[in-house]
């Protein structure tokens, strides 16, 4: 069963109006014996352990992301806080689990109006805590992953259903490489196991690459997953797994005619799947003048990817601000060049 959550056009219009007064918003799943061992300690947090309070629209500052499930219900992340709305953004409730550091930066995955997984990354911590709610943030369950001796932070979190999920933990970035580890849960996030790792000065497991900066991990079903990012080498950086994230291999996709991929000029972003076969892969060609953005389409579950019409910035002389996009469904999407 593939998770299907796409923003409605009305949500986007409402949120664009809201954000006019809210500040900046950034756009937008066989273990190695040498890798860190995950230890799972489950804990249930009751209503009294949730910071619940109503917030005014003016109080919504320093937002990092908004995730609308439908026209009325959605979630928002700011530094050290998780917020929820049930009236289309007219009011927000703080549903942050107690004990979360106010300086923590969060990563979340919203499954429906009541169900969500969220991680708040802690500075210089050798553990990762995954929080899970099934009642809109009134009660929380948590699971801890021990990453010692490494300082871990979650950069990507994905669940395809209420049971099967993955997360990508980053440990260190250095000289064009990033130490990472892929964890998997088969019980809704109550426990996690290491599937593969690539750690500096250790032998990489299961062909997970050490080279490259990773920005996303997405699965379309229990077997097939994609790891995205960029490197300073040539080509379009994309890795895939067909066994639930235990082994990985580099994926080769065609460059649109007239575009180049030299020396880290291209960045792939996590794909979006609409069903078992159809999906799109966002790719930024930053080395072009002007820079360009391309949605690659697949109709065979990611075995092959075909580029669509590139979207370019309006003027060559403009400073590159990065592209931002929102995918509505299999045939509708919005793209902005930052201007």
- CATH, residue 137: 2.120.10
Structure token pair of residue 196:
């593969």
Give 49's pLDDT tier (boundaries 50, 70, 90).
low
pLDDT computed for residue 234 by the predictor: 85
Q: Is residue 7 part of a domain?
A: no
Structural domain includes residue 213: yes
Residue 29 has pLDDT above 80, yes or no: no
What is the model's pLDDT at position 280?
A: 97
Question: What is the average pLDDT value for the chain, to the nearest integer?
Answer: 82
42 vs 180, higher pLDDT = 180
Higher pLDDT pick, 14 / 184: 184
Average pLDDT (219-245) is: 94
Say if 299 falls within a structural domain: yes
Q: Residue 2's pLDDT is what? A: 39
Q: Which domain holds residue 206?
A: 34-50+97-336
Which has more pLDDT, 262 or 182?
A: 182
pLDDT of residue 16 exceeding 60, the answer is no
Is the pLDDT at 125 greater than 60? The verdict is: yes
The mean per-residue pLDDT over the stretch 292-299 comes to 95
Query: Is there a domain that residue 11 lies in?
Result: no
pLDDT of residue 64: 85
pLDDT value, residue 93: 93
What pLDDT shows up at residue 119? 95
| Highest mean pLDDT: which range of 27-31, 54-58, 180-184 | 180-184
Query: What is residue 206's predicted lDDT score, i.e. its pLDDT?
Result: 73
Q: What is the predicted pLDDT for the residue at 30?
A: 27
Residue bearing the bigger pLDDT, 313 or 203: 313
At residue 204 the predicted structure's pLDDT band, cuts being 50, 70 and 90, is low
What are 61-113's pLDDT values in tens digits?
778 889 999 999 999 998 889 999 999 999 999 999 988 987 788 899 999 99
pLDDT of residue 262: 84
pLDDT for the residue numbered 52:
54
Of these ranges, 39-53, 118-132, 253-267, the one predicted with the greatest mean pLDDT is 118-132
Residue 272 has pLDDT above 80, yes or no: yes
Please report the pLDDT score of residue 263 as a whole number. Answer: 80
* Amino acid 54: pLDDT: 60
More confident residue, 155 or 123: 155
- pLDDT given for residue 172 in this prediction: 85
Look at residue 299 in the predicted model and tell me its pLDDT. Answer: 95
pLDDT above 80 (res 58): no
Q: Is the residue at 6 inside a domain? A: no
pLDDT beyond 60 at 133:
yes
Tell me: pLDDT of 190 over 90. Answer: yes
Number of domains in the chain: 1
Does the residue 70 lie in any domain? Answer: no
The 3-state secondary structure of the chain, one letter per residue: CCCCCCCCHHHHHHHHHHHCCCCCCCCCCCCCCCCCCCCCCCEEECHHHEECCEECHHHCCCEEEEEECCCCCEEEEECCEEEEECCCCCCEEECEECCCCCCCEEEEEECCCCCEEEEEECCCCCEEEEEEECCCCCCEEEEEEECCCCCCEEEEEEECCCCCEEEEEEEEEECCEEEEEEEEECCCCCCCEEEEEECCCCCCCCCCCCECEEEEEEECCCCCEEEEEECCCCCCCEEEECCCCCCCEECCCCCCCCCCCHHHCEEECCCEECCCCCEEEEEEECCCCCCEEEEEEECCCCCCCEECCCEECCCCCCCCCCCEEEECCCCCEEEECCC
**Which of 154-168, 208-222, 320-334 bottoms out in mean pLDDT, i.e. has the lowest?**
320-334
**Residue 86 within any structural domain of the chain:** no
Residue 8 lies in a domain: no
């Amino acid at each position: 069963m593939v998770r299907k959550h796409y923003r409605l056009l009305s949500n986007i219009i409402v949120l664009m109006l809201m954000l006019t007064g809210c500040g900046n918003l950034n756009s937008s799943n066989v273990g190695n014996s040498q890798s860190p061992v995950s230890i799972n300690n489950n804990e249930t947090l009751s209503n009294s352990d949730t910071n619940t309070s109503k917030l005014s629209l003016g109080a919504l500052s320093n937002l990092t992301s908004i995730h609308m499930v439908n026209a009325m219900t959605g979630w928002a992340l700011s530094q050290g806080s998780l917020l929820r709305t049930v009236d289309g953004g007219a009011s927000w409730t703080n549903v942050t689990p107690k004990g979360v550091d106010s300086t923590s930066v969060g990563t979340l995955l919203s499954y429906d109006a009541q169900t969500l997984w969220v991680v708040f990354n802690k500075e210089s911590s050798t553990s990762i805590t995954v929080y899970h709610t099934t009642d809109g943030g009134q009660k929380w369950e948590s699971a801890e992953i021990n990453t010692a001796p490494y300082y871990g932070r979650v950069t990507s979190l994905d669940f395809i259903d209420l049971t099967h999920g993955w997360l990508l933990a980053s440990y260190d970035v250095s000289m064009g490489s990033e130490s990472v580890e892929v964890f998997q849960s088969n019980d809704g996030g109550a426990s996690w196991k290491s599937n593969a790792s690539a750690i500096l000065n250790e032998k990489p497991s299961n062909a997970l690459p050490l080279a490259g900066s990773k920005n996303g991990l997405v699965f379309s079903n229990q077997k097939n997953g994609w790891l995205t990012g960029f490197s300073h080498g040539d080509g379009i950086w994309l890795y895939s797994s067909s066994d639930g994230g235990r082994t990985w291999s580099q994926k080769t996709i065609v460059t649109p005619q007239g575009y180049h991929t030299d020396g880290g000029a291209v960045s792939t972003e996590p794909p979006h799947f609409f069903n078992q076969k159809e999906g799109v892969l966002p790719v930024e060609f930053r080395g072009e003048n002007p820079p360009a953005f391309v949605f690659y389409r697949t109709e065979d579950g990611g075995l092959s990817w075909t580029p669509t019409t590139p979207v370019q910035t309006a003027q060559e002389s403009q400073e590159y601000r990065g592209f931002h996009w929102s995918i509505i469904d299999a045939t509708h999407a919005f793209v902005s060049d930052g201007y």
